[in-house]
Every structure is written in C-alpha cells, then in structure tokens.
C-alpha cells in the first residue's frame, strides 16, 4: 500500500448474505479498520468501504426456503452484519448494499459502457455452475465429473441465453499489469498463482442469467428485461459505485483503491475479473489486492456440524474487543492460515498485553507518583538515555513500511521490541537506587524516558486497540491525533512535561477459558468397547521398533513446479526442491483437493528414501505425506518455513 498518495481508499469484500458473520469476516474487517484508523492518524484523507453482496441464485433459494422474499432475507442478514461492525466500532465511511438503488444504477451504466465499447456480446452459455460459489466451471475443472472443485458440492448443467464479457481480450494486458507492478497482489507468492492461471488461457465470461430474476437488470437501452447480471459483475463494481460511479461521482477522487482486502478463496475474481472490468471501463487499477488466509479452530476446520464455528461477538464480549483485535492481527502473518484457540488468546492477553504493556503503564504510574508527585519532565532524557532513544528510533524508522506492505504481525512485533527496551531500562538503571543515592535528575530522566516510549507506543497501537489506548493516552496526558503523531513519531521529539493519572488495570490476568470449548461428537459406549476390542486384536507383528521407524527419511521440500497429469483425475506432477542438486519429480494423487497453481511455492513433508516408481509412464521419486478424513485431505506442512532438505524427526 502506497503512503505517498493524496487520498487513501480501503475496501473489504462485500460479504455474501447467505449466513451470519464469522471469524473470517471479522478478521478482514478488523484489518481494514486498522489500516483506516492508521491512515487517518497520519493525516491522510481516508475512505473505508464495507458492505454486503445480496443478489444471486443462492440468496433467492435461501430466502424461499425460509418463507421470505429475497429482499426481506437480504435485509435481515445485511442488518446483522452492519450491527456487528457497529458493535465492534468499525470506522467505515460507507456500508454499501448491492440492493441500493445508486449501486444498481452505477452497475447498469458500467454494463452499458462496456457493451458500447464492444467488450460485451450476446451468445449462449452451456456448462457447469455451482450455485453455492456462484461460479461457472469447465468440465476439466470439475471433481469426478460433477462436483465443484472449490466447495465439493454438486454442480448443475446450465444452458441458457447469456451475455459474455470478452475476458480473453484482456489476457496480455493483465499479464503486463502483474509483471510491471511487483506488489499489485499481496502476498507476492499469490501473484505467481494468478499469473500461471492467466497464462493457461482465459475464456470469455458469462455475465448474465435468465433462469432467475434476483439481480440487477440490464440497462433499458438493451431491451433485454429477462436478463439479470451475473452476481460477480454486480458485486465487484461496488468498489466504484460506492464512490458515486454512474451517479453523482462525489467521491471518485478516492479511486484507485490503495488496498482491497479479500480472502484467498476469492482472489481470482478480484485479480482477474476485476482488473479486466476496470480496463474495459478505462479506469485505473487498484494499487494492491491483498489476500489473507483462513482460520481454523484448535487445529480443525470450522463447520456447523462440528459445532466449532467461532462467533467473533462471543469472543469479543468474553475477552474484550481490543484483546481480540490484537490477537487477530498479531497471531498470524498476513496471507497465511491462522488457528484460533482460547489458550493462544489467553497467552497473548496475559503475556503481551498484561505483562509487557499493562504492567509497564503501572510502573510509570507507580514511579512517577512515588518519586515526583506524578509530574514528568523530559528535559534530561537525551542527556542520560541517548542509547535507548537511538534503539527506539532505529526500530520505528521503518515501522510504517510494515503496515503498507501488509506485514501487520511484524509491525506489532517491532512495537513489542520497543516495549522490551523500556522494561529493560528500568532493570538496568534502577530508579529506586538513583533516588536513594540522591540522583533525582537521573531518576526523573529514566521515568521520563519510559513515559515517552509508552506515548510513542500508544500512538502506534491506537489503530489496533483504540479503546484501551485512549485510557493509556489519558493516563499519560497526551492526545491521540495527527499533531501528536507528527511530533513524537515522525519528528522523533519528546513530550515536554506531563502529569500522569492513575488508571484501572487494563488487562486483568485470565486463569481459565471463558467460553465453552468446541463441541466434540459423542462416542457411544458400544463404539468405545468395539474399538477397544479391535485394539486388543492387534498382533505384535504390526508394531515396529524405533530403529525401523528411522529407516524412513522424511524431509521438508518446496514445490517449485506443479501441473496436471493428462488423462488422470487424481494425479499432479510436481517438482520438489529437497535441497539436493536437482529437484525431485513426484506424482501425487491430490488433484481432487489441490490445484496445481496453489501448490507452487508452498512446502510439504516428503518421504525422501522411497524407491522410485513408475506411474502412467512417468517416474515418481518420493511421496508427499497427507492426512484425510471426512472433511477432505490436507498435506502435512511445517508450522513455519524451513530450509529445503530439513529432516523431520
């Protein structure tokens, strides 16, 4: 995300109103809110958009199943999203709904412009359609000839009159955009997947339907009243109709967007369809499209049937909204999948927030009150603590770059390095000893140093934990605003004088989980007895010694190439770097669960001393380890990136 621009425009995806908001929705929105708050604090004119996507066949079917009209159902669910964001104090500038009249007018104007340009033509669509994903697929893309490759649900064969967008005409322009703009897709590794997909060839996109009518009608000038727009064309255009495109144009000065946040499952729509639509409309492309990962719970995929779906409102109510925000932003690097557990959240609260941050504020209050009647003067800080000030400045010099490159966890890690400097300085210089020795000037300089460090940290954490930081700011006697930011962060100045005010404990220690743990499916007594009896029947010969286990060599490798094996429904041909002179060729039967594009650049656990085998006329030099249950197959991967060839033991 570029900081130098005059205006800052930040968007979340508009959330589909087929269900209540979950932790993934909250994660995206909290990230966007952090970026918006930070941009405003640094003095940027900022526009933050979120909202709901309300058209499409799936919504019409869901409404009918509940005995409601599509609009009644959309109103109900959209209202819940908006209420949650209001409860979370999300500072959006506009909450758009695709049922808004201004949006529909803007979308029709865009459709008309693309049609008049020759980028839209009338034809007939015949193919496979997934209602759940609102996505078209070719037969080659399907799993076992009929199932959606994304969600696994059955597809339906659709044959109907349709208008098409000339997506294929923009293939070269898209490739050029990717190659000329290094950070147009973040994380950068995701861009390689998109480039490989586009280079595989793009087909024109069906953008209208006649089999249902819950959607935006085509422009009246086309005289096609039985057509409604494909939901993804309708939805993606919200990012400009929210600014007034096609109506009053009042906020189009904010376009192009600086950062458009999406989940990794909808990156392809946003990084292929969306820029192609914009090119057709002769509009500039977004600066950055940033795709984050998914969240699991206690290491398991969340699902209603398991009863382990995380309700963000319940978590925030139990542990505090600011603690929840901090955990979500700190716990996982942007772009990677994250795991939510109450234990991990409690550890963050007790350690990071309680000990490192909250306790430091208590020490400032205690020392200033005991020694100086709560009055702090910074006049001698540079005289006695040039070293610590330099260490803090070195860390903060480039900290802004983390935010604008979506490295939010590193941003927070560096802030905690600054807190470490402050906590360490107290132990190193012992102000209580200085006071006993009559060195009040030195003791004051130390307490003032800690106060200034805390003030700088408060400014940098305001976008993360605004409610708690307002209390810290009040305690320190500072205001969280652009002037203070410029003085203490940008210009590296110090507070002149201030008076400390005592505050309540900000992050009380938590000793046990506050919410009911995820439900576990009950196993009947008979099932337990049956399993036990089977266990007793296991023959001694099935057990192996530790020496035999170590005969197997397991190594970590990076998948550097991946492609489908022709005529095979299951096999992918991979090139895996195991730190050897040449990469290994491995044929893996995982095509039903992973696309070739998404594997490139990822790591996996490989059986490295397996005897080479020939499959479909090709040599396979190893095997990937995976686990499979009723929820699908997952490759076994290291928790953090490891050097290629690292042994698993």
Over residues 361-367, mean pLDDT:
96
Distance CA 422, CA 472 (A): 16
Place of tokens 């699991």: 296
Q: What's the pLDDT score for residue 520?
A: 36
Q: What's the pLDDT score for residue 551?
A: 67
Q: Is there a single domain that holds both residue 367 and residue 456?
A: yes
Distance CA 11, CA 367 (A): 44
Residue 41 inside a domain? The answer is yes
pLDDT confidence of 207, banded at 50, 70, 90?
Answer: very high
Over residues 478-493, mean pLDDT:
97
For residue range 419-442, what is the model confidence (pLDDT) as tens digits? 999 999 999 999 999 999 999 999
Over residues 473-500, mean pLDDT:
97
Half-sphere exposure of 634 (CA within 13 A, CB side): 11
3 state DSSP class of 12: coil
State the DSSP string of 545-578: -HHHHTTS-EEEEEEEEEEEPTT-SS-EEEEEE-
Q: Are 37 and 54 in contact (CB under 8 A)?
A: no
Q: What's the pLDDT score for residue 525?
A: 35
Q: What's the pLDDT score for residue 141?
A: 63
Distance CA 461, CA 325 (A): 11
What is the percent of the chain with per-residue pLDDT over 70, rounded to a whole number? 91
pLDDT confidence of 374, banded at 50, 70, 90?
Answer: very high
Residue 201 inside a domain? The answer is yes
Q: Is there a single domain that holds both residue 145 and residue 33?
A: yes
Q: Is there a single domain that holds both residue 443 and residue 556?
A: no
Distance CA 256, CA 289 (A): 11
pLDDT confidence of 619, banded at 50, 70, 90?
Answer: confident
Q: Is there a single domain that holds both residue 481 and residue 630?
A: no
89-103, 275-289, 293-307, range with the lowest pLDDT: 293-307
Domain boundary, last residue among 499, 529, 558: 499
Domain boundary, last residue among 447, 480, 499: 499
Q: What's the pLDDT score for residue 350?
A: 97
Distance CA 414, CA 188 (A): 22
Q: What's the pLDDT score for residue 39?
A: 97
CATH number reported for the structural domain that contains residue 405 in this entry = 1.10.730.10
Q: What's the pLDDT score for residue 190?
A: 92
Mean pLDDT (the chain, rounded):
89
pLDDT exceeds cutoff 60 at 537: no
CATH number reported for the structural domain that contains residue 564 in this entry = 2.40.50.140
**How would you class 61 by CB atoms within 10 Å of its CB: exposed for 0-12, middle for 13-18, buried for 19 or more?**
middle
Domain that holds residue 356: 341-499
Over residues 183-200, mean pLDDT:
94
pLDDT exceeds cutoff 60 at 546: no
Q: Is there a single domain that holds both residue 22 and residue 116?
A: yes
Residues 6+ apart with CB under 8 A from 565: 571, 572, 573, 587, 591, 616, 618
Q: Is there a single domain that holds both residue 188 and residue 92?
A: yes
Q: Is there a single domain that holds both residue 495 and residue 548?
A: no
Distance CA 244, CA 241 (A): 5
Q: For the chain, how many structural domains are there in total?
A: 3
Q: Which of 235-249, 561-575, 608-622 has the highest mean pLDDT?
A: 235-249
Residue 5: DSSP 8-state? S
Over residues 143-159, mean pLDDT:
74
Residue 147: DSSP 8-state? B
Q: Is there a single domain that holds both residue 253 and residue 394?
A: no
Residue 645 inside a domain? The answer is no
Q: What's the pLDDT score for residue 127?
A: 74
3 state DSSP class of 586: strand
pLDDT exceeds cutoff 90 at 343: yes
Q: Is there a single domain that holds both residue 345 and residue 455?
A: yes
Output b/e per residue, 586-615; b: 16+ Cβ within 10 A.
Answer: bbbbbbebbbbbbbbbebbbbebeeeeeee
Q: Is there a single domain that holds both residue 155 and residue 283?
A: yes
For residue range 379-418, what is the model confidence (pLDDT) as tens digits? 999 999 999 999 999 999 989 999 989 999 999 999 999 9
Query: Which amino acids are annotated as binding site for Zn(2+), given as ranges?
Result: 130, 133, 148, 151
Q: Is there a single domain that holds both residue 284 and residue 378?
A: no
pLDDT exceeds cutoff 60 at 526: no
Higher confidence at residue 75 or residue 567?
75
Q: Are 277 and 120 in contact (CB under 8 A)?
A: no
pLDDT confidence of 84, banded at 50, 70, 90?
Answer: very high
Distance CA 116, CA 101 (A): 23
For residue 363, give both structure tokens: 């020490």
Residue 647 inside a domain? The answer is no
pLDDT exceeds cutoff 80 at 140: no
Q: Which of 303-307, 500-504, 526-530 has the highest mean pLDDT?
A: 500-504
Query: Which amino acids are annotated as binding site, given as ranges?
Result: 130, 133, 148, 151
Domain boundary, last residue among 448, 466, 499: 499
187-196, 279-288, 478-487, 518-527, range with the lowest pLDDT: 518-527
Find, among 147, 144, 163, the residue nearest to 155 by Cα. Answer: 147
pLDDT confidence of 633, banded at 50, 70, 90?
Answer: confident
pLDDT exceeds cutoff 70 at 220: yes
Q: Is there a single domain that holds both residue 11 and residue 125?
A: yes
């Amino acid at each position: 995300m570029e900081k130098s621009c005059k205006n800052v425009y930040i968007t979340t995806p508009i959330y589909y109103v087929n269900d209540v908001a979950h932790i993934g929705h909250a994660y995206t929105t909290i990230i966007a809110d952090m970026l918006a708050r930070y941009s405003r604090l640094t003095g940027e004119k900022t526009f933050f958009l979120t909202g709901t996507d309300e058209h499409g066949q799936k919504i019409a079917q869901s409404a009918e199943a509940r005995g409601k009209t599509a609009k009644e159902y959309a109103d109900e669910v959209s209202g819940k999203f908006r209420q949650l964001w209001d409860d979370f104090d999300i500072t959006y500038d506009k909450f758009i709904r695709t049922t808004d009249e201004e949006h529909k007018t803007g979308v029709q104007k865009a459709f008309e412009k693309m049609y008049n340009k020759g980028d839209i033509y009338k034809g007939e669509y015949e193919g496979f359609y997934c209602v759940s994903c609102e996505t078209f697929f070719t037969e080659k893309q399907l799993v076992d000839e009929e199932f959606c490759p994304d969600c696994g649900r059955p597809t339906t064969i659709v044959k109907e009159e349709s208008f098409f967008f000339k997506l294929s005409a923009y293939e070269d322009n898209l490739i050029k955009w990717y190659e000329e703009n290094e950070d147009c897709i973040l994380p950068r590794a995701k861009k390689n997947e998109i480039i490989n997909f586009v280079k595989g060839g793009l087909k024109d996109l069906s953008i209208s339907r006649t089999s249902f009518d819950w959607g935006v009608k085509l422009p009246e000038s086309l005289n096609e009243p039985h057509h409604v727009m494909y939901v993804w064309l309708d939805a993606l255009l919200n990012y400009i109709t929210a600014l007034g495109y096609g109506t009053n144009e009042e906020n189009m000065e904010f376009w192009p967007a600086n950062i458009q946040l999406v989940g990794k499952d909808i990156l392809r729509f946003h990084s292929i369809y969306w820029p192609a639509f914009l090119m057709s409309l002769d509009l500039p492309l977004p600066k950055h499209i940033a795709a984050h990962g998914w969240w699991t719970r206690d290491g398991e995929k969340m699902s209603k049937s398991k009863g382990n779906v995380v309700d963000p409102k319940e978590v925030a109510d139990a542990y505090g909204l600011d603690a929840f925000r901090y955990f979500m932003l700190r716990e996982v690097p942007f772009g990677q999948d994250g795991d939510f557990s109450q234990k991990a959240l409690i550890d963050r609260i007790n350690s990071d927030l309680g000990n490192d941050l909250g306790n430091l504020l208590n020490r400032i209050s205690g020392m200033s009150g005991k020694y100086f009647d709560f009055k702090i003067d910074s006049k001698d800080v540079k005289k006695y603590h040039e070293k610590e000030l330099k260490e803090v400045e070195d860390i903060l010099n480039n900290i802004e770059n983390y935010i604008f490159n979506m490295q939010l966890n590193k941003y927070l890690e560096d802030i905690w390095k600054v807190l470490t400097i402050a906590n360490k300085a107290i132990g190193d210089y012992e102000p209580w000893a200085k006071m006993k020795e009559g060195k009040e000037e030195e003791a004051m300089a130390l307490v003032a140093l800690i106060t200034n460090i805390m003030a700088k940290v408060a400014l940098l954490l305001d976008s993360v934990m605004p409610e708690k930081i307002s209390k810290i700011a009040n305690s320190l006697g500072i205001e969280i605003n652009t002037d203070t930011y410029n003085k203490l962060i940008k210009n590296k100045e110090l507070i002149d004088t201030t008076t400390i005010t005592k505050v309540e404990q900000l992050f009380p220690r938590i000793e046990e989980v506050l919410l009911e743990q995820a439900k576990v499916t009950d196993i009947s007594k008979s099932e337990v007895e049956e399993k036990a009896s089977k266990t007793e029947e296991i023959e001694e010969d099935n057990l192996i010694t530790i020496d035999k286990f170590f005969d197997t060599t397991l190594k970590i490798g990076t998948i550097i190439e991946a492609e489908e094996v022709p005529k095979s429904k299951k096999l992918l041909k991979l090139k895996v770097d195991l730190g050897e002179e040449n990469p290994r060729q491995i044929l893996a039967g995982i095509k039903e669960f992973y696309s070739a594009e998404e594997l490139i650049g990822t790591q996996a656990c490989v059986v490295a001393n397996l005897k080479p085998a020939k499959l479909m006329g090709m040599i396979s030099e190893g095997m990937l380890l995976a686990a499979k249950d009723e929820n699908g197959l997952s490759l076994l991967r290291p928790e953090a990136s490891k050097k290629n060839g690292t042994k698993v033991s």
